[in-house]
Amino acid sequence: MSEKLVQYLDDELAGSEKETFEQQLAADKNLYEELESLKVAREAVKIFGLQQKVSGIHQHMMLEIQGPDKKINPARRILRYSIAVAASVLLIVGGIVGYNFYTLSSNKVFASNYRPYELSTVRDGDTQQVSPVEKAYREKDYKKVVELQEQYNSILVKETFLAAMSYAELANNTKAIDGFKKVIAENENAGTSLFKDEAEYYLALTYISNKDYDFALDLLRKTRDNPNHLYHDKVTGKLIRQVKMLKWR
């Protein structure tokens, strides 16, 4: 009977043989239960088979979806690290440049380059020859310097320059610019160079403070291009770059 039961389960019975067996199944509850148990076992095999099939494909597909582990040769790895390091350095440098660009100001550039002009030391015997303008300048009394200059309107180049420096100290850019320009013009007219280099340098700085960057750049380039200029060493490439950056902003 067991052999027939399995044949029936496997759908290997046909015709009258199948009909007869089905009649027996209907009449015999135990036989029917035994068939049910075998069907249950067959179902278990199907579940197991499906799990094995999907599990096998799952492993394969996870590799395909995630991509295979790529083996990188040492030279390529070094190249990758080098590129990564270079990119990091570039990023850091870019960050610093960006930070400097956005925090740069005309006042900052002016303040880091401006030093008050100092007159050379006067020997004891010469004190009588020092003019009131020069005396006031030496005493850093810049207000008095400009008052005296406005009062007497000295035509001496030195006093014109000291008055311009005093205006610069008092943050009166317009008057300082006029004064420095006057020193330069008088030298050009007379073919001399009294306080000319000094006037050009301080005029450039005053232009920066006044945000006249194009005028400042012309003077700075001229100074940088002339190795004999008194302030050639003070006008660095960095200063010119900073003024250019201020101009772009």
The backbone torsions φ and ψ at residue 142, rounded to the nearest 5 degrees and listed phi first, read: -70, -30
Distance from the Cα of residue 232 to its chain's centroid: 31
Check binding of 96 to another protein (CB under 8 A): no
Distance from the Cα of residue 4 to its chain's centroid: 85
Size, binding site for another protein by CB under 8 A: 31
* Single residue of 49, 94, 95, 116 touching another protein by CB under 8 A: 49
Among the residue ranges 61-69, 99-107, 130-138, 211-219, the one whose residues contact another protein (CB under 8 A):
61-69
Check binding of 63 to another protein (CB under 8 A): no
Check binding of 244 to another protein (CB under 8 A): no
Check binding of 190 to another protein (CB under 8 A): no
**Measured between alpha carbons, how far is 94 from 86 in angstroms, rounded to an integer?**
12
Rounded to 5°, the CA angle 245-220-247 comes to 20
Check binding of 62 to another protein (CB under 8 A): yes
Nearer to another protein, 43 or 218 (CB): 43
Touching another protein, residues 2-21 (CB under 8 A): 2-3, 6, 10
Nearer to another protein, 49 or 116 (CB): 49
Among the residue ranges 18-26, 53-61, 159-167, 199-207, the one whose residues contact another protein (CB under 8 A):
53-61
Alpha-carbon dihedral 111, 236, 194, 141, rounded to 10 degrees = 10
**Strand ranges inside the chain, DSSP E:** none
Residue by residue, DSSP assigns 67-83 as -PPPPPPHHHHHHHHHH
Helix then strand then coil, in percent of the chain rounded to 5, is 75, 0, 25
* Single residue of 17, 20, 32, 37 touching another protein by CB under 8 A: 37
Interface ranges with another protein (CB under 8 A): 2-3, 6, 10, 36-55, 57-58, 60-62, 64-65
